[in-house]
Amino acid sequence: MDGHAEDRGRVYQASGDQHISEHHHYGDEASTPGGPDSVRRPAVGRPPVVLRDRVEVLDRLKAGVRAGRGGEAFVLYGMGGCGKTAVAYTFFQAAINECGRVGLWVSASDRASLRAGMLAVAADRGARDGELLAARNGLRAASDLVWHYLDRSAQPWLLVLDNADQPEILRDGSWLRTSPGGTVVVTTRRSAARWWPGAELQHIGVLPSEDAARVLRDLAPHSGTQEEAERIAERLGRLPLALTLAGGFLSQQVLDPWTLEAYGRRLDEDERERVGLIDQGADALSPQDPRHMVGLTWQLTLDAFEARGLPEATALLRLLARFAPEPLPLVLLNRPEIDAALPRARCEAALRALLDQSLTELVDVGARCAQSHGVLLDSVAAATPAASVPVLDTTAVRLLDVGFPALPDAGPHDPLLRLLVPHALALLRRVDDPPTSADTLAVATRLAVALHRTGDYVSAWETARAAADIGERKLGAEHRSVLAAHSRAGRALFRLGRYAEAEALLERVRAAQNRLFGADDSDTLDSAHGLQLVLGNLGRQDDALALLRSVVVGRGRTLGPTHPLTLRSRSSLLVLLSASEVVAEEDGALLDLPSECDRLLGPDHTVTLGAHHNRAWALYLSGRFDEADQEIRQVTEAYRRRLGPDYPTALSAQQLLSRTRAALGHVKAGAELMTDVVARREHSLGPDHPFTVAGRELLSAFTSGRWRPPGAEG
């Protein structure tokens, strides 16, 4: 007899009566589902060498198991890469070795792993084969079986449910319970308390600076100093996963070992390659687990958003990734301009989803803000599809653009402005498209103007300087927006009392603007107006006056005689001209300029107040002390009411008021006013600022009897 069989077929030959019973299974044996190899050992990719920080959390966890208590459930939550599993692993080892607990470890990352792992737990605690088979075949409630044997365990236990980022899996199967026989610990990215009724939530965040540096040195002890390690740790946002990967990379280099300093330079060279550099520390011999690489770990959550029908959450996270890892005012996310990236009506749900997944958090820094981790944002930005980037960039620019006034005016300190600075600079670094880069730079420069006009000259200078430097690399040194940013930096340097630096910068910028755009260009005239202020304070009155006259003419010709900038430059003539020149200027009409400003701009306009301030100075110089005193008293009160007593212009007006008081014979009152001015300037500008020094000299003249009013010095 001939027989033939293929693949897994069989041929039987028999004589006599035979009974053959055979079970056939078709498919790949390797794909047959099975349980975990062990529930007694944690399934972690890379156990921590030493767990840094986390002392309070571990003490709280250990307190329960040491006392022999049961019935507790702890949820360790936080963003991906913060070391939740590392904390659970360390606690797991302590519970076994120090407290005599039976340790049980189950992956809860998906339904199949959770079910298989929990049934393996039941088997470990004494469940019989028939019971397990019935549970696997759906003939018996699987979770009831597991918890039946956990409740009746003769030994106290610790059960860890790791990576439970889909808590609905636990809820739907009723897998998460408590038992007097042991303690449950869950690690998850999901922070909403509604998922964890009855459990104690413990947030796992980034590490303190010193401990973060020690993680690097634990892994690569010879790569650099503690101080260098702290700098790299800050650059990595003190995220445990990033620190572990960086330390692993440094420890793996054999032929050409890297130092921490070299690693830091590479991190700063190209933000697009930053995430790839960090992920080089992953163990090349182990399977690629997304949770063990910063470039992939958050993709799990983004995939979950898509599966749950929440693409807006992904879009919002990609939009946030255009900004900085600093508090971002929520008001920016509630504007119509966001519609280009995601529907405004869906922004609330998208933000809640990010909060629930620990991808961002709410912080209150005087304004309600959202804040995300820097490595997360870098990772998301690097993985954002190229086709989505232009819309995201233009949306981010528009959101910043409407976040503060289009025409910044003098005013008191506004905390919102400082919050926007890192986001404007981060966006400027991310954007590649030249027109969008120019738009972003213009917004950043206007933000510097707004800071300047609140009297925050340090922030104004830092913002303008940083924006100009970034813009120059992207757009070239002679781009209009780059020159405008440099000009604004020069204006801030002047207000900081750094006259020589301000003069050099404004001279260079004005020369370039004059060559490229012409003498009557608005940007050229703006730089010239700022430069004349510097020259006047350097004692070069003639040069300042000649330049100011050219600005008055140029602005009158291009903007018109009634434009606020033209009126402002004309009012500056009242400061630079002598008493006799003021009377002769414009056929005697210059002293009437404040009234003209009242009529054209209104009495409370900043330019109007400035014109009254300057006329009070001109009246004082001409010996008309009563008129000057009345005018500057009103200006001082208006400034203090509108801008606050510490505002630089308010202090300048108060200084002039002290002069008019003294000129009218009230020297003691003048000294009291100047004492207040000097104290406030020392606090806000510093003791060595030229304005502070000049104020101290005037106060000394008052108190020593050396002071004389104008016209009486001889």
Mean pLDDT of 181-192: 92
Look up residue 604 and give its two tokens: 């409370």
Alpha-carbon dihedral sign for residues 397, 401, 404, 408: positive
Please state, in angstroms and rounded to a whole number, the distance separating the CA atoms of residues 105 and 162: 7
φ/ψ of residue 158, rounded to 5? -125, 125
| Model pLDDT, residue 712 | 61
Answer yes or no: CATH 3.40.50.300 is held by domain 55-203.
Answer: yes
**What is the predicted pLDDT for the residue at 479?**
98
User: What is the overall mean pLDDT for the chain?
Assistant: 88
- Bridge-partner residues for 103, per DSSP? 158
Q: Return the structure tokens found at 84.
A: 């939740």
430 in Cβ contact with 381 (< 8 Å): yes
Higher-pLDDT residue of 64, 363: 363
The arithmetic mean of pLDDT across residues 654-682, rounded, is 96
Q: What is the 3-state secondary structure (H, E, C) of 664-698?
A: CCCHHHHHHHHHHHHHHHHHHCCCCCHHHHHHHHH
Looking at residue 319, its pLDDT comes to 97
The pLDDT of residue 477 is 97
Largest alpha-carbon pair distance within the chain? 143
Checking if the pLDDT of 10 tops 70, the result is no
What are the phi and psi torsion angles at 128 (to 5°)? -85, 160
What residues does each domain of the chain span? 55-203, 209-292, 299-403, 624-714
pLDDT of residue 375: 84
Which of 27-36, 131-140, 396-405, 507-516 shows the lowest mean pLDDT across its residues?
A: 27-36
Q: How confident is the model at residue 285 (pLDDT cuts 50, 70, 90)?
A: very low
pLDDT band at 580 (very low <50, low <70, confident <90, very high): confident
Local structure of residue 206 (DSSP, 8 states): P
Q: Which helix (H) or strand (E) holds 363?
A: strand 361-364
Residue 2 has what pLDDT?
53
Please name the residues in contact with 220: beta carbons below 8 A apart, sequence gap of 6 or more: 247, 250, 251, 260
What integer is the mean pLDDT of 341-363?
91
Between 297 and 494, the higher pLDDT residue? 494
Percent of the chain clearing pLDDT 70 (strictly above): 90
Question: ∠ CA 154-95-158 to the nearest 5 degrees?
Answer: 50
Q: Report, as an integer, the average pLDDT of 393-400.
A: 97
Helix 606-621 × helix 625-643 angle, to 10°: 150
Please indicate whether residue 310 or residue 256 has the higher confidence score (pLDDT): 310
Using alpha carbons, list the distances in angstroms from residue 171 to 85, 197, 301, 303, 677: 21, 10, 19, 21, 66
Looking at residue 388, its pLDDT comes to 95
Q: What CATH number does the domain located at 624-714 have?
A: 1.25.40.10
Compute the average pLDDT of residues 9-32: 46
* Mean pLDDT confidence for 30-47: 70
Share of the chain above pLDDT 90, in %: 62
Q: Specify the amino acid at residue 212.
A: A
Residue 177 CA to residue 196 CA, distance in Å, equals 10
Tell me how far apart the alpha carbons of residues 5 and 20 are, in angstroms, rounded to a whole number.
Answer: 17
Model confidence at 51, in pLDDT bands (50, 70, 90)?
A: confident
Q: What is the pLDDT of residue 99?
A: 87
Average pLDDT, stretch 370-383?
A: 88
Tokens matching residue 38: 């062990």
- pLDDT tens-digit readout, 507-549: 999 999 999 999 999 999 999 999 999 999 999 999 999 999 9
Give the number of C-alpha atoms closer than 13 A to the C-alpha of residue 100, restricted to the C-beta side: 7
- Beta carbons of 368 and 362 less than 8 angstroms apart: yes
CATH number for the region 299-403 comes to 1.10.10
CB 636 within 8 Å of CB 657: yes
Alpha-carbon gap, residue 305 to 320, rounded angstroms: 16
Could you give the count of Cα atoms lying within 13 Å of 135 in the half-sphere of its Cβ? 24
CA–CA separation, 219 vs 49, rounded Å? 7
pLDDT at residue 184, as a whole number: 95
Positive or negative, the CA dihedral 677, 679, 685, 686 is positive
Q: Can you state the percent helix, strand and coil of the chain, rounding each to 5?
A: 60, 5, 35
